[in-house]
């Protein structure tokens, strides 16, 4: 997968866009990296790590990963690169100085109860995969898409049974999650934009999923640039790229 090379003229970044003036917020799965049948099998290749490091240096450090994955998982995926990051859709926040903060966690015994119920679903349907993120739980149905409606209904029912737990339902690409309530990728971007080195820059957010929509809307209102990747659904994003490969080429073109 390239990080440079020709890309369609329509997909090139605006000539007036300058890396030095931007704050970059990048989703990971489906944006920087292709989806995998097993999310735990994904890692960043050397070319992507080099591209992100160049962007980080040129932007004065104003580059953060904003993901549904945990920050610990992101660190493992991108090692040895260690970037500012928002994990679990904004529940975790690590600033440019490396300071990690977290929002109010879900009620532990209710989270444990939800985990047991989701584990039962996986035992009944072994092609499902439960991703335990610590303070969030994701039920992936990528290998059995025909179960989408049943999985969604099951997770909604579990959320009802643990009402008051501090968990909320999040839909994603072939996944339904129970995530900490009261956070979103929009709140994650807003938190970064209130601190150095992001403050005062033009925010640029790239993402591919429903969970990225609040960030697109926030960035639009802030006069920034919202980039949707490989999506045919209605979206608030004002710029569209067709693939992970095109995202990499688009970012590399900014550095050229």
Angle between helices 244-255 and 46-58 (to 10 degrees): 40
Instruction: Give per-residue pLDDT as tens, 245-256.
Output: 999 999 999 998
- Residue 2, pLDDT above cutoff 90: no
| Contacts of residue 54, Cβ cutoff 8 Å, sequence gap at least 6 | 255
Residue 150 region, left (φ>0) first, then alpha (ψ -120 to 50), else beta? Answer: alpha
Parse the chain into domains and list their residue ranges. 9-103+183-255, 108-180
CA–CA gap between residue 108 and residue 131 (Å, rounded): 17
Instruction: Give per-residue pLDDT as tens, 45-70.
Output: 999 999 999 999 999 999 999 999 99
Give the pLDDT of residue 49.
97
Give the pLDDT of residue 11.
65
What is the DSSP pairing of strand 85-87 with strand 63-66?
A: parallel
CATH of domain 9-103+183-255: 3.40.50.1000
For the chain, what percentages of helix, strand and coil (3-state, to nearest 5) are there? 40, 20, 40
Give the pLDDT of residue 233.
84
From the number of C-beta atoms within 10 Å of its C-beta (0-12, 13-18, 19+), residue 41 rates as exposed
Give the pLDDT of residue 13.
86
Strand partners, 204: 24, 225
CA–CA gap between residue 9 and residue 43 (Å, rounded): 30
Instruction: Give per-residue pLDDT as tens, 148-196.
Output: 999 999 999 999 999 999 999 999 889 999 999 999 999 999 999 999 9
CATH of domain 108-180: 3.30.70.1020
Tokens of 70: 């945990």
* H/E element, 239: strand 239-241
- Under DSSP, is residue 240 helix (H, G, I), strand (E, B) or coil? strand
Strands (E), 111-163: 129-132, 137-140
Of 27, 75, 208, 209, the catalytic one is 27
- Residue 3, pLDDT above cutoff 50: no
Instruction: Give per-residue pLDDT as tens, 12-57.
Output: 788 888 999 999 999 999 999 998 777 777 899 999 999 999 999 9
- Residue 8, pLDDT above cutoff 70: no
- Residue 111, pLDDT above cutoff 70: yes
75 in active site: no
User: What mean pLDDT comes out for the span 89-108?
Assistant: 95
């Amino acid at each position: 997968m390239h990080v440079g090379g020709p890309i369609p003229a329509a997909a090139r970044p605006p000539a007036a866009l300058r890396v030095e003036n931007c704050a970059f917020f990048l989703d990971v799965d489906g944006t920087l990296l292709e989806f995998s049948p097993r999310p735990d099998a994904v890692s960043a290749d050397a070319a992507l790590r080099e591209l992100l490091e160049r962007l980080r240096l040129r932007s004065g450090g104003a580059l953060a990963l904003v993901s549904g994955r945990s920050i610990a998982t992101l660190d493992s995926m991108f090692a040895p690169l260690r970037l500012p990051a928002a994990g679990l859709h904004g529940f975790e926040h690590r600033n440019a100085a490396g300071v990690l903060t977290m929002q109010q966690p879900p009620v532990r015994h209710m989270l444990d109860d939800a985990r047991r119920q989701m584990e039962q679903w996986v035992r009944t349907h072994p092609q499902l995969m439960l991703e335990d993120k610590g303070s969030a739980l994701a039920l992936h149905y990528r290998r059995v898409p025909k179960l989408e409606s049943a999985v969604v209904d099951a997770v909604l029912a579990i959320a009802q049974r643990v009402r008051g737990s501090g968990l909320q339902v999040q839909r994603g690409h072939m996944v339904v999650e129970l995530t900490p309530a009261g956070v979103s990728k929009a709140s994650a971007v807003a938190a970064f934009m209130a601190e150095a080195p992001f403050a005062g820059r033009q925010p640029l957010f790239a993402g591919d999923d429903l969970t990225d929509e609040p960030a697109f809307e926030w960035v639009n209102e802030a006069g920034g640039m919202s980039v949707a990747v490989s999506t045919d659904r209605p979206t608030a994003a004002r710029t569209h790229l067709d693939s992970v490969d095109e995202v990499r080429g688009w970012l590399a073109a900014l550095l050229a």
